[in-house]
Amino acid sequence: MASRQNIAYLFTTFPKATETFLQREIIAMQRMGAQLEIHSLWGGGGKFGGMPVHAFNKWLLVKLFWIIPWVALTRWDVFGVLLKGLLTRGAPSWLNFWENMLGAGFAGVFYRSFRRAGVDFEARIVGDGPLRDELGRAIRRLNLAGQVSLAGHLALDEVWGQLAWADVLVHTGIVAASGDRDGLPNVIPEAMSIGAMVVSSPVAATTEAVRHGVTGLVADVARPDAWVTALRRLATDADLAESLRIEARRWVEENFDAHKNAARLSACFEAQTRS
């Protein structure tokens, strides 16, 4: 089942007695299970349908005195588009113009908060190695102790238990400075066989099993945003998730069945001895 959608509504004033169509939309979205966050930019506030309506504190707009120059310097690709739109696209009325400006000010103040809003998750890192202490420090520094745990080295039956628990196996394989790399790690087809979806980096032989969009998803290990996008897709697209599980299991049955592979190998040996 897909996870609940997180949706933020920004209203000039909410709730407003004359805009019942907006209220009906909020109620319908709530009944569909969406996780809603409602903001009222001018007045309003309180509660609606049991949900808090956050009234915007206009004093926060003072932050724009340093946010705007910073964005202009660091993200001109975004700021330039906004500035061009402001100068070339006239608003229908002054009221509409100032409503747009208020919305833009809200976005400038809260954009970091919305960027941080992500997918709820729990991650268990299985295995051991020289980076364990560094990973532990990073988990504590980022306040992720409630979401990320280091399981350490586990016996094989315990690893299978972790795969049965997991929705997704994340394999971030790289080529080491020495040139060392994985071929096709056993854990990938093992996860595919048990119904855990796989997101993997395209290193060595991993893509023999993980075909992007068919049996799993592939992401560039150097791009964290690509991994976030992949995990969001799996969390919100139930049809994709089910298709990946089915095709991954089919690939394992065809290519990673020890009995089938042993029979093929035996047939090859037998053919060679006859020739």
Residue 252 pLDDT level (bands cut at 50, 70, 90): very high
Give the span between the Cα atoms of 191 and 251, in whole angstroms. Answer: 12
Do the domain assignments include residue 142? no
pLDDT score for 108: 77
CB of 183 closer than 8 Å to CB of 216:
no
User: Is the CB of residue 199 less than 8 Å from the CB of residue 168?
Assistant: yes
Residue 149: closest CA among 160, 140, 141: 140
Which amino acid is it at 14? Answer: F
Whether residue 15 is preceded by a cis peptide bond, meaning omega within 30 degrees of 0, is yes
Looking at the structure, tell me whether residues 163 and 71 fall in a common domain. Answer: no
Statement to judge: residues 255 and 183 lie in one domain: yes
Q: Which residue, 39, 56, 73, sits at the end of a domain? A: 56
> Domain for residue 257, yes or no?
yes
pLDDT of 1 reads 36
The pLDDT of 7-16, averaged and rounded, is 87
Structural domain harbouring 17? 6-56
Least confident of 101-115, 130-144, 162-176, 179-193: 101-115
- The answer to the question of residue 45 being in a domain is yes
Location of structure tokens 């991650």: 123
Structure pTM? 0.57
Q: Which pLDDT value is given to residue 3?
A: 46
- One domain, residues 86 and 165: no
| 20, 89: one domain | no
